[in-house]
Amino acid sequence: MKFVDEAFIDVAAGDGGNGCVSFRHEKYKEFGGPNGGDGGRGGHVFAVADPALNTLVDFRFSRRHEAKRGQHGMGSDMFGAAGDDITLKMPVGTIISDAETGEVLYELLTPGEVITIAKGGDGGFGNLRFKSAINRAPRQKTPGWPGERKNLKLELKVLADVGLLGMPNAGKSTLITAISNARPKIADYPFTTLHPNLGVVRVGPEQSFVVADVPGLIEGASDGAGLGHQFLRHLQRTRLLLHLVDMAPFDDAVDPVAQAKAIVAELKKYDEALYKKPRWLVLNKLDMVPVDERAARVADFVKRFRYKGPVFEISALTREGCEPLVKAIYKHISAQHIAEQAPVEIDPRFAGKAEE
């Protein structure tokens, strides 16, 4: 399935049905009175967050979504039926904004969440509504109200706790395969990953987190070079970034420090908030470095990179060092989750009751 993380759609809720002008026509009832019913409500347009979806491709080729209008009112006190609603299934993490102004209208962040993105118009009143003591035979009616019409932009930002960041061929796909249930394409050439991959990492019973692998970045990515810039938005909701560095590049002329600094510069240029997220350094492919050279190469890299945060030495291929990394990630994410939870406010009148 093609991965699409942006689409534009037009939605139109149904118009309300018109009210009816009608009078009772029965034998021996010469002045039967009004019996025109109201029109039915127009259909709404709903959006539901479906955890089974991970792309907006369905909306790339189906742009117009229109609900049915309400049925017109009828005689014999019969109100019109409401128009059929339509429900659009969207991936969890979809942002719905106004296509013209760019204003964010809704966000689907919870699986199964349902929102109304276009409200159907109310039905018009039939002449039965206008009957009164001084107006026994009203001939007034009102038309149905028009339904809402909107031009919307859909943007998908995947929901993940951890995002993998690095140059092409840094080993991000191999790492997500080693620690999670994801099975992305892996090959020995750059730009193997063409779209984000999500994987669930199981740490223990009822202990897990979600990791996202996006296409690798290259210098100039924030200006449109390569593929990674198109998917950097998917890292904006993560709690932690893992900066993977290839410590054994095929070309001896390639400097891992220069590549790592280029990634950090592109990140800062793209989004300051993303740049300020917690970011850990993961030195990968150490299985390809002679054992007696590893310590010196790692120390030299950290010194020249001028990095003072957590450093993890791993081999995603052999899974060496992956378990301590996973446990540290889960501990960090759990602490962040607890810190983000709002404290429970206790009514001052009952503050001392618990101690008693």
Other CB atoms closer than 10 Å to residue 138's CB: what's the count?
Answer: 18
pLDDT for the residue 350:
47
Angle subtended at Cα 153 by Cα 146 and Cα 193, rounded to the nearest 5 degrees: 155
pLDDT of the residue at 116: 94
Q: How far is CA 236 from CA 73, 93, 165, 167, 278, in A?
A: 50, 11, 12, 18, 12
Q: What's the pLDDT at 354? A: 41
Cα(190)–Cα(193) distance, rounded to whole angstroms? 8
Position 296: which residue type? A
What is the reported pLDDT for 348?
Answer: 58
DSSP string, 170-217: SSHHHHHHHHSS------SSS----S-EEEEEEEETTEEEEEEE-PPP
Alpha-carbon distances, residue 280 vs 53, 135, 307 (angstroms): 30, 78, 9
Burial of residue 202 (CB within 10 Å: 0-12, 13-18, 19+) is middle
**Contacts (Cβ under 8 Å, ≥6 apart) of 346:** none
Q: Is the CA virtual torsion 90, 91, 92, 97 positive or negative?
A: negative
Token couple for 353: 């009751």
Encode the chain (356 residues) as per-residue pLDDT tens digits.
Answer: 455 678 899 999 999 999 999 988 777 766 678 989 999 999 999 999 988 887 788 888 889 999 999 999 998 889 999 999 999 999 888 999 999 998 999 999 888 899 999 999 999 999 988 988 888 889 899 999 999 999 999 988 777 788 888 887 788 888 888 888 766 555 454 444 556 777 778 887 778 888 888 765 555 544 544 444 556 777 777 888 889 888 888 777 788 888 888 888 888 887 788 888 888 999 998 888 888 888 998 898 888 988 888 899 998 888 898 999 999 998 888 887 777 665 545 555 544 544 44
pLDDT of residue 77: 87
> Would you state the structure tokens that stand for residue 216, as one six-digit string?
């690798």
Alpha-carbon separation of residue 288 from 164, 253, 294 (angstroms) = 21, 17, 10
- For domain 6-156, give the CATH superfamily: GTP1/OBG domain (2.70.210.12)
162-340 is classed in which CATH architecture?
Answer: 3-Layer(aba) Sandwich (3.40)
Predicted TM-score (pTM) above 0.95: no
What is the domain partition of the chain in residue ranges?
6-156, 162-340
Q: What are phi and psi of 210, to 5 degrees?
A: -110, 135
